[in-house]
Structure 1
Amino acid sequence: MSMPTFHVHFKAFARTSPIQYIKSVRLHQARLLMIRDNATAAVAAARVGYESASQFNREFKRFFGRSPREEARELRTAFSLLPPTQLEGIADTH
């Protein structure tokens, strides 16, 4: 399958280009790292493959509408996540 044909089929299926899809996956993974592992934006950006923290911050804000720090803080509050050590203790008692 040629690249142009792949792009047409991918976009018909995913409703986005392959590049935008990969960017979306990387940004969602970084957001999860910041929420679940309490990673900084710079650490999360590097772990999902961004070489430039400033580019990551720009793309993150464009995609989610908030800075990485604001998004992580808001979602941690909304989900009221317990630290991982507290979750392990809860799981052991059930």
Structure 2
Amino acid sequence: DAAGMSPSSFHEHFRSITSLTPLQFQKQLRLIEARRMMLSEGAMISTAAHAVGYESVQQFTREYGRLFGMPPAKDMKATKAKGRVEAAA
């Protein structure tokens, strides 16, 4: 209603701009926020997953892997190792 269009029209326009459905876009934002929490705040995987709305850590891990190419624990280890290498350079 706020956008002045039907739900199907909104979804169509949203997808044309973002290449994602609103649900996919929201999921991606949640996963990005969880990753930020784990990297910058040192949040545990389960804490970050629950903080962004996941009830199942297993579901979070699957979806995280799809977006970032590896499960969260492996991504955290690789990203932190990469940061140490860059800091030493």
Task: Give yes or no for TM over 0.5.
Answer: yes
TM-score range, shorter chain: 0.7 to 0.9
User: What is the CA–CA distance in structure 2 between the aligned matches of 1:76 and 1:65, rounded to whole Å?
Assistant: 16
Q: After TM superposition, what 4+ stretches of structure 1 lie above 3 angstroms from structure 2?
A: none
Q: Counterpart amino acid of 1:60?
A: Y
User: What is the CA–CA distance in structure 2 between the aligned matches of 1:60 and 1:31, rounded to whole Å?
Assistant: 9
Provide the residue aligned with 1:92 in structure 2: none
Q: Counterpart amino acid of 2:11?
A: H
Displacement of 1:60: 0.8
Aligned residues: 80
Provide the residue aligned with 2:21 in structure 1: 17
Provide the residue aligned with 2:62 in structure 1: 58
User: What is the CA–CA distance in structure 2 between the aligned matches of 1:48 and 1:67, rounded to whole Å?
Assistant: 17
Give the structure-2-normalised TM-score: 0.84
Q: Structure 1 residue aligned with 2:40, among 14, 36, 43?
A: 36
Q: Counterpart amino acid of 1:23?
A: K
Provide the residue aligned with 1:8 in structure 2: 12
Give the structure-1-normalised TM-score: 0.80
Displacement of 1:64: 1.2
Q: Counterpart amino acid of 1:25?
A: L
Segments of structure 1 that go 5 or more residues without pairing to the other structure are: 81-94
User: What is the CA–CA distance in structure 2 between the aligned matches of 1:7 and 1:79, rounded to whole Å?
Assistant: 39
Identity %: 38
Provide the residue aligned with 1:87 in structure 2: none
